[in-house]
């Protein structure tokens, strides 16, 4: 397994976003949401802060797919605000376009048109007509205008592109039908239903396919609807997502009632009943993720307030700060092999307040810096060493090969920290209490492992300080 601390914070955050994107494309929304939350939490440099804008855009898209429109809008608006604050125009274009998609899905066409117009205006302002966002944005704008009754659309400007073929075909079908060009209409439908797409791309196109289904049903084009439904079904079987299957089943029932036999009606309704529990469970899971995500947002400060905290190092000691240590340790615990043993050491300086009160804070700072040097002397290589606040340090050890050797190493650390300091005829004994917890005690996440080590630390202090206590 790749060692997490061997890559930079930005690389780790980018990797998480890539993992979330792959999960999203394959319809694994719960996994995608979990990974995106981890990506938001990841420490990042100021140069990489646009990454969070992309995360919020993706969150908005996912919640839109899961029918959580309020959360979808909140995330997209946050992406737009951050993109504007950072001057990230490509991210702003994406946010405007996604908001246009959302409002179009809700049937609020005037608002949808305004958002897409802002996206197009920004594309033109930047001179980015060759941008990958230009074609879907232009197609979406045409679809909205078509729905609003404007059929004066020049399709010569719409070149077929592999990435957004379904959006272009959606518009072409609408316009050719409104213009009474039946030959072109049949041609575009044939192109759409004979096009082979990669399985992971089908989900990106799905909303356009459903949009065309709604159009064909509205115009009573039942034969054409049947053709499109058959085309979609070959891809739906490979997706774990019940939402799309449920929507297609709805159209299957409508079609069977209008054009099918009694047997076909019964079969369509049977399939609808079979997918209904999965769909309802998926929606329930989406609501639970919504609650968890809202709770998380209430706990978090704004991105700008967090930026200093998310810097990688503690400025005084050069060790990792609390936020970064926790994040990296959590990531390791999520990825480690089941039988690998992890450990946490929590170190607290005994009577440290007396040093500050008697010798002053400069003397206290020197002791903390010296302690950090000692910690790095005994625990280096792939261990994560950090100052987690005040006079408290933590060490996360990823793969403990020998527990006995670890305890000996911790004892050497305790002895090395212990010393006497004198100044102005005042003598103070410097020492530390250490609490240790190992994952062999059944701890599967960093939070519980740290809590156990902290409990062991409390016991060491209770037993007279300058001691080591272990939970294993």
Asked whether the beta carbons of 387 and 413 are under 8 A apart, the reply is no
Domain-terminating residue out of 265, 299, 333: 299
Q: Is 423 found in the same domain as 325?
A: yes
Which has more confidence, 289 or 140? 140
Q: How many CA atoms lie within 13 A of 200 on its CB side?
A: 8
Quote the mean pLDDT of the chain: 83
Domain around 81: 4-299
Task: Give me the mean pLDDT over the 76-98 stretch.
Answer: 91
Q: How far, in Å, CA of 417 to CA of 376, rounded?
A: 12
Give the CATH number, domain containing residue 9: 1.25.40.10
Which has more confidence, 422 or 38? 38
Long-range contacts of range 26-35, CB-CB < 8 Å, 24 or more positions apart?
26/199, 26/200, 26/203, 26/239, 26/240, 27/203, 27/239, 27/240, 27/241, 27/244, 28/240, 29/62, 29/65, 29/66, 29/241, 29/286, 30/285, 30/289, 32/58, 32/62, 33/59, 33/62, 33/289, 33/293
Q: Is 158 found in the same domain as 9?
A: yes
Domain-terminating residue out of 252, 269, 299: 299
What is the chain's length? 472
The predicted model scores a pTM of: 0.72
Which has more confidence, 17 or 163? 17
Give the CATH number, domain containing residue 446: 3.30.70.270
Q: Is 280 found in the same domain as 324?
A: no
How many folded domains does the chain comprise?
A: 2
Residue 315 lies in a domain: no
Residue 431 lies in a domain: yes
Q: How far, in Å, CA of 166 to CA of 210, rounded?
A: 11
Q: Is 440 found in the same domain as 367?
A: yes
Q: Is 154 found in the same domain as 57?
A: yes
Q: Is 380 found in the same domain as 284?
A: no
Asked whether the beta carbons of 24 and 57 are under 8 A apart, the reply is no
Domain-terminating residue out of 299, 334, 355: 299
Residue 412 lies in a domain: yes
Task: Give me the mean pLDDT over the 53-65 stretch.
Answer: 89
The tens digit of pLDDT for each residue in 342-382 reads 999 999 988 888 777 777 788 888 888 889 999 988 887 67
Q: Is 333 found in the same domain as 269?
A: no
Q: Is 174 found in the same domain as 109?
A: yes
Kindly tell me the burial class for residue 162, based on how many C-beta atoms sit within 10 Å of its own C-beta (0-12, 13-18, 19 or more): exposed
Q: Is 388 found in the same domain as 328?
A: yes
Residue 70 lies in a domain: yes
Residue 12 lies in a domain: yes
Residue 307 lies in a domain: no
Residue with tokens 């792939």: 382
The tens digit of pLDDT for each residue in 385-407 reads 999 888 999 999 988 888 898 99
Residue 96's pLDDT band (cuts 50, 70, 90): very high
Q: Is 97 found in the same domain as 57?
A: yes
Q: Is 421 found in the same domain as 464?
A: yes
Kindly tell me the burial class for residue 157, based on how many C-beta atoms sit within 10 Å of its own C-beta (0-12, 13-18, 19 or more): exposed
Q: Is 361 found in the same domain as 251?
A: no
Q: Please provide the distance, in angstroms rounded to a whole number, between the alpha carbons at the two ends of the chain.
A: 24
Which 3-state string (H, E, C) describes 229-246?
HHHHHHHHCCCCCHHHHH
Residue 327 lies in a domain: yes
Residue 313 lies in a domain: no
- DSSP letter for each residue of 70-107: HHHHHHHHHHHHHHHHHT-HHHHHHHHHHHHHHHHHHT
Task: Give me the mean pLDDT over the 185-209 stretch.
Answer: 83
Report, in angstroms and rounded to the nearest whole number, the Rg of the chain calculated over CA atoms.
Answer: 29
Kindly tell me the burial class for residue 178, based on how many C-beta atoms sit within 10 Å of its own C-beta (0-12, 13-18, 19 or more): middle
pLDDT at 49 over 90: no
């Amino acid at each position: 397994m790749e060692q997490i601390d061997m890559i930079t914070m930005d690389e780790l955050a980018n990797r998480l976003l890539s993992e979330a994107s792959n999960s999203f494309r394959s319809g694994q929304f719960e996994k995608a949401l979990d990974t995106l939350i981890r990506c938001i939490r990841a420490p990042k440099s100021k140069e990489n802060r646009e990454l969070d804008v992309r995360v919020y855009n993706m969150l908005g898209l996912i919640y839109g797919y899961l029918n959580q429109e309020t959360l979808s809008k909140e995330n997209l608006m946050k992406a737009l605000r951050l993109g504007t604050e950072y001057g990230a125009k490509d991210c702003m274009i994406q946010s405007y376009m996604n908001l246009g998609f959302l409002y179009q899905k809700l049937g609020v066409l005037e608002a949808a048109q305004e958002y897409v117009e802002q996206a197009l205006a920004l594309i033109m302002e930047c001179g980015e007509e060759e941008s990958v966002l230009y074609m879907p944005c232009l197609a979406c704008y045409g679809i909205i205008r078509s729905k609003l009754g404007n059929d004066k659309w020049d399709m010569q400007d719409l070149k077929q592109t592999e990435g957004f073929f379904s959006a272009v075909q959606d518009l072409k079908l609408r316009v050719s039908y409104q213009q009474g060009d039946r030959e072109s209409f049949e041609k575009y439908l044939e192109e759409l239903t004979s096009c082979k797409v990669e399985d992971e791309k089908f989900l990106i196109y799905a909303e356009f396919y459903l949009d065309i289904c709604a159009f064909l049903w509205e115009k009573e084009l039942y034969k054409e609807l049947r053709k499109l439904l058959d085309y979609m079904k070959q891809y739906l079987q490979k997706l774990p997502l019940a939402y799309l299957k449920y929507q297609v089943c709805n159209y299957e029932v409508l079609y069977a009632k209008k054009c099918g036999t009694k047997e076909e009606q019964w079969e369509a309704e049977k399939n609808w009943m079979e997918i209904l529990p999965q769909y309802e469970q998926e929606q329930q899971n989406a609501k639970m993720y919504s609650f968890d995500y809202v709770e998380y947002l209430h706990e978090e400060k704004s991105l700008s307030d967090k930026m200093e905290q998310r810097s990688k190092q503690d400025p005084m000691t050069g060790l990792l700060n609390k936020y970064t240590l926790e994040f990296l340790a959590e990531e390791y615990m999520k990825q480690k092999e089941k039988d690998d043993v992890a450990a946490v050491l929590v170190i607290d300086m005994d009577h440290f307040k007396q040093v500050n009160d008697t010798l002053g804070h400069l003397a206290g700072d020197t002791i903390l810096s010296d302690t950090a040097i000692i910690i790095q002397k005994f625990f280096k290589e792939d261990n994560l060493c950090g100052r987690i606040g005040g006079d408290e340090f933590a060490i996360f050890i990823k793969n403990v090969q020998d527990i006995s050797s670890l305890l000996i190493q911790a004892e050497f650390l305790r002895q090395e920290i212990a010393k006497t300091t004198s100044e102005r005829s005042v003598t103070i004994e410097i020492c530390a209490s250490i609490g240790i917890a190992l994952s062999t005690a059944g701890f599967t996440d960093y939070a519980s492992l740290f809590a156990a080590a902290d409990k062991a630390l409390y016991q060491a202090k209770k037993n007279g300080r300058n001691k080591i206590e272990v939970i294993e």
